[in-house]
Structure 1
Amino acid sequence: MKKKITLILAVVVLLAGRPVQGQQAQAFSLKQSIAYALQNRTNLKATRNEEKIARARVGEIRAMGLPQLNGAAEVGNNFIQQKTLFDPGSFGAPSQLDNFTITPEQINSGQPIILQPTYSTPEPDSSRTGLQAITFVQPYTGSLAVTGSQLLFDGSYLIGLKAAKTYTELSRKSMEQGEIEVVEQVSKAYYGVLVSRARMALLNQNLARLDTLLNQTQVMFRNGVAEKLDVDRLRVSRNNLKVEQQKTERLLALSESLLKFQMGLEQRQPITLTDELAEVEVDVTKVNPANFNYSSRVEYAILETQRDLANLDLRNKRAGYLPRLYLNARYGYNGVGRTLSDVLNVRAGASNTIDRNWFDFGYVGAQLQVPIFDGLSKHYQIQQARLALENTKYNFETLRQSIDLQLSQASTELTNSLDVMKSQQENLALAQEIARVAKIKFQEGVGSNLEVVTAETDLRQAQTNYYAAMYDALIAKVNLDKATGTLLSK
């Protein structure tokens, strides 16, 4: 039962991967496949978004140096009014107006009466001396204000702008690294399909040739010229070749699915490849390690950018000892009232000097922040940044050694693969000639059927070895292009 379910699932998966009937096949060369992948691979789209995020980060840091404006409005109830202690005696001894009298003589004199009030110090009243609790806060208050600030100088801000731009450059190079990986994957998958299709075509030719030979042998058997053993041997050889053809056909479908995946193409979309194996140039002599420039490798360029970031980080930590200068300004209104409706009934204006309940205010000034002591925090931060920069320099030597090894390894692999492919090509030509001669000898009655079957088996093995060597050479070519940093430029 379990095997039956597994078989059903396999059939469903196979049918799901089949192209839709009537859907036109789309033709792709290797360059077109790479171009399509660079535009449609989802991981590259995500990497492009990371690059856009880095650019937005630059804008965010730049905005910190632009004017900052904020507005605020508030109305509240001081349900417990704040009080303070007040000493009336702190304003000096109180005075009182002395009594004065107007006499009848002054009234009848007809002269103007001039009043000259006099004041005297009253006797101390023990009930009114000492501290008294009073409040200057109304039950309801409101405020409406606009505040603004402008950064005038901050060493960390200037270095942060440079670091943000460098980080954008790092994102761009990371995007280039992702594109190189996609080009590598698409190229290897494309070559895999080309080799599989060429091998499939050759297997079809072998099967057609073997079918012809089998039919001729059956006629010879019926005429008494050949034995039944000869027919059976050829039939066994044909059955083996048929199985190998079916396996290669399924592997070809799988390699096409892999190519579609690497391109970001819908699996149901049928494709045709326009490039031919004969058109692929494989040349190892053009690689000259003496003229190689490490900067042509994106990994080296990324490390250079990381070194710049580490250097800027060290400068940023040191800039933490510099002062900061800000320009600040505030303007707004404060309102008071005994009730909520009173404070909401705004009465203000310079012409209103009788019953105003809202009063404006304004402030402008400069603020200088000077770091004095932070518990040696910045000292240890600078120490960490200096060591990180030193490690980045060490990584250059490690990367150069790694690139040298990759160049040597890729060049050696390609040279060996080309030698093997040349040898297998000669073996294939010899196997084809042996199979042709064995067939002629058998048909002329001077050779055995076993010799023909053996020659056909050797021929299939030679074909398999040749195309395996060809695929290895193509993969080695891609690896060498990647090692030299020229894969994306092709």
Structure 2
Amino acid sequence: MSIPTYIRPIVLGFLLWPSLLLAQSKERVLPDSLTLEQCIEYAISNKPDVKQARIDEAIGERDIKASLSDWLPQVSARYTLLHNIKQQTTVFGDNVVTIGTKHNSNILFEANQTLYSNDVLLASRSAKYNRLQLDQNTQDVKINAVVDVSKAFFDILLTQEQLRIYDENIAREEKQYKDAFARFESGLVDKTDYQRASITLANSRSQRRGTEESLKAKYTYLKELMGFPANAKLQLVFNNALMQQQIQIDTTQQVAYANRVEYQQLEAQQHVLKLNTNYYRYGFLPTVNAFINYSPVYFNNNFSDLYNTAYPTSTVGLQASIPIFQGTRRIQNLKRAQLLEERLVISMEDTRNRINTEYQTALANYKSDLVEWETQRENAKLAEEVYDVIKLQYDEGVKAYVDLIVAETSLRAAQLIYYNALYRVLASKLDLQRALGTIEVQ
């Protein structure tokens, strides 16, 4: 039955509606204005390294389940079809007798249940720690994502503040250039004042242009860290005052090795190695299986009549396999496993020392950067006050134009140094938090 013409647009709309909704939902998922917390959240959901870590977890979980599946009954079937080209013969007295038939076939159904196995027992006991190691690896990747994205975010904010400072300076310098040129035309000063103003203005515009170009590259880098589409627009939102309020951190905290995910990974690995050592220690124990099978057998000299009659057999039993002598393989593997445990103990001690060094270094850098930031904040305020005074004196004809240029250059340098110090203290705070193992991830 054909659909009436006036109904077809309605039917087409219903068919396309789910696709339209899906397309709109995908567009809404991609924000163009993000805070630092939202950038981190987006990175943890979309960064390729984090996605790969999650896939590694899924792969590891499949490996664990595959190993544990040996505890379940193993059922198999086997089919055999034979054609005896030359049948076996034997001698009974003086007679030579042909044995068997030309065609043989059988189907074997067998179920096997493991009752005890050192291999499967190791898989069961180590599954918990294998899962823990997979989760810890993902946590490590997330922590690195938090630190990297945060530093890239702060770097962009620093560059934006530099652009704002350049814009303010350029606005002042343009006015100074016009004022100096007007004074030159009025005969109040010679042309060197407005020439100096022109040079200063050109340099500021050039520096701003270079900073603006670097900002594009920094946005691209942040998008890469976040897993954000390269061609999509990204705008950052931040509260400068709130960010400065969050600079402080408790520097009396003591480093706790157990808080570091790297040390947690070594502890989980230590459990696995102990289980592995026990595996070789008790390797002399037998592997015990229970089994049952059923096999219908067919034989006939005529292939067409082969499956007319079945001669079934069935068995149920218990099987134990005991390793008696393996050429000292078990002993050598046991010694090797014990050496691996000793090696890991040394590695854990080295990791504790490394963590302590990272903590002391991060703490020293943070304290130094914090003092530098506080100092440069006061210097920026003083430089602004000095510039205001020099500008007023220049307008009144008390100071020369070169003094105004020096004051303005000092102001711009003090402001740029202040924001560089702000970025460094924020970055060193992140390093200190990572050294303490206090960075929280979802």
Asked if these proteins are the same fold (TM beyond 0.5), I'd say yes
Structural mapping, 1:68-83, within 5 Å:
68-83=74-89
SS of match in other structure, 1:275: coil
Q: Which amino acid aligns with 1:245?
A: R
Preserved contact between residue 146 and residue 441 of structure 2 (Cα < 8 Å): no
> Conserved in 2, the CA contact under 8 Å of 1:211 and 1:238?
yes
Correspondence 1:443 to 2:404? no
CA distance in 1, matches of 2:141, 2:349: 23
Instruction: Say which SS state the counterpart of residue 428 (structure 2) adopts.
Output: helix
For 1:69, what is the secondary structure of its paired residue?
Answer: strand
Preserved CA contact (<8 Å) 2:82 2:104: yes
CA change 1:25–1:459 in 2 (3 A) is farther
Measure the CA separation in 1 of the matches of 2:69 and 2:323. Answer: 24
1:197 is aligned with what amino acid? Q
Alpha-carbon separation, structure 1, partners of 2:195 and 2:120:
86
Q: % of aligned pairs identical?
A: 26
Report the counterpart of residue 482 of structure 1 in structure 2: 434
Flag the structure with larger Rg. Answer: 1
Q: Which residue of 2 aligns with 1:140?
A: 103
Cα deviation for residue 322 of structure 1 reads: 0.4
Residue of structure 2 equivalent to 1:236: 199
Aligned partners of 1:46 and 1:302: how far apart in 2? 18
Q: Distance in 1 between matches of 2:285 and 2:363?
A: 54
CA contact (8 A) 1:424 1:465 kept: yes
Q: Which position in structure 1 is the counterpart of 2:32?
A: 26
Q: Secondary structure at the match of 1:268?
A: coil
Deviations 1:380-438, CA, capped at 9 Å, x for gaps: 00000001111112222211111111111111101101111222222222222222222
Give a deviation string over 1:53-101, Cα, whole Å, max 9, x none: 1111221111111111111222221112233x3343xxxxxxxxxxxxx
Task: Give runs of aligned pairs for residues 355-374 of structure 1, distance below 5 A.
Answer: 358-374=310-326
Change (3 A) 1:25 1:389: closer
| 8 Å contact kept, 2:36–2:150 | yes
Distance 2:249 2:292 in 1: 71
User: Conserved in 2, the CA contact under 8 Å of 1:410 and 1:479?
Assistant: yes
Map of 1:86 onto structure 2: 91
TM-score where L is the length of structure 1 = 0.81
The answer for the alignment partner of 1:104 in structure 2 is none
Give the distance between the partners of 1:484 and 1:455, measured in 2 at CA. Answer: 43
Q: Are the aligned partners of 1:179 and 1:488 in contact in 2 as well (CA < 8 Å)?
A: no
How far residue 342 of structure 1 moved from its aligned partner, in angstroms, is 2.3
Distance 1:138 1:73 in 2: 18
2:136 touches 2:264 (CA, 8 Å); kept in 1?
A: yes
Instruction: Report the equivalent of 1:317.
Output: 280
**Relative to 1, partners in 2 of residues 1:271 and 1:283: Cα closer, same or farther, differing over 3 Å?**
closer
In the alignment, which of 343, 347, 360 is matched to residue 308 of structure 2? 347
Tell me what 1:61 maps to: 67
CA distance in 1, matches of 2:169, 2:280: 73
1:407-446 to 2 correspondence within 5 Å?
407-446=359-398
Superposition TM-score, scaled by structure 2 size: 0.89
- Kept in 2: contact 1:66–1:150 (CA 8 A): yes
Matched, 1:162 2:125: yes
User: What one-letter code is carried by the residue in structure 1 that aligns with 2:322?
Assistant: V
Residue of structure 2 in register with 1:117 after alignment: none
Picking from 378, 383, 390, the partner of 2:342 is 390
Q: Secondary structure at the match of 1:488?
A: coil
1:429-480: CA deviation from partner (whole Å, max 9, x where unpaired): 2222222222222221121111112222222222222222111111101101
Alignment of 1:432-471 (within 5 A): 432-471=384-423
Query: Which letter does structure 2 place at the counterpart of 1:212?
Result: K
In structure 2, give the amino acid aligned to 1:32: Q
Q: More helix per residue: 1 or 2?
A: 2
Partner of 2:142 in structure 1?
Answer: 179
Q: Give the letter for the 2:113 counterpart.
A: Q
Question: Aligned-pair distance for 1:133?
Answer: 4.3
Any conservation in 2 of the 1:73–1:143 contact (CA below 8 Å)? yes
- The answer to whether the Cα contact below 8 Å between 2:170 and 2:204 also exists between their aligned partners in 1 is yes
Does the 8 A contact of 2:247 with 2:425 survive in 1?
A: no
Say if 1:190 and 1:259, in contact at 8 Å, map to a contact too.
Answer: yes
Deviation at 1:289, TM superposition (A): 4.1
Structure 2 spans left out of the alignment, 5+ residues: 1-29
Give 1:222's aligned amino acid.
E
Alignment of 1:221-370 (within 5 A): 221-280=184-243, 281-283=245-247, 286-290=250-254, 292-343=255-306, 346-348=307-309, 358-370=310-322
- Distance in structure 2 (CA, Å) of the matches to 1:452 and 1:41: 49
**Is 2:63 the counterpart of 1:52?**
no
Distance 1:198 1:52 in 2: 43
Task: Say if 1:284 and 1:415, in contact at 8 Å, map to a contact too.
Answer: no
Q: Aligned partners of 2:31 and 2:278: how far apart in 1?
A: 58
Q: What is the alpha-carbon distance in structure 2 between the residues aligned to residue 25 and residue 33 of structure 1?
A: 10
Counterpart amino acid of 1:61?
Answer: S
C-alpha displacement at 1:179, in angstroms?
0.5
Letter in 1 for 2:365: E
Shift of 1:28: 0.8
Shift of 1:39: 0.4
Q: Where does 1:190-201 land on structure 2 (aligned, <5 Å)?
A: 190-201=153-164
Cα drift, residue 487 of structure 1? 1.5
Aligned partners of 1:134, 1:33: CA distance in 2, in Å?
87
* Alpha-carbon distance between aligned partners in 2 of 1:283 and 1:272, rounded to the nearest angstrom: 23
- SS of alignment partner, residue 64 of structure 1: helix
The alignment of Structure 1 onto Structure 2 pairs a total of residues equal to 412
Given that 1:284 and 1:411 are in contact with CA atoms closer than 8 Å, whether structure 2 keeps it comes out as no
Instruction: Name the Cα RMSD after superposition.
Output: 1.7
Which amino acid counterpart does residue 210 of structure 2 have in structure 1?
A: K
List per-residue Cα deviations over 1:120-166 (Å, max 9, x = no partner): xxxxxxxx3xxx54332211111122111111112332122111231
Compute the displacement of 1:25 (Å): 6.9
The answer to whether the 8 A contact 1:282-1:477 is kept is no
Structure-2 change in CA distance of 1:52 and 1:199 (3 Å): same
Matched residue type, 1:347: N
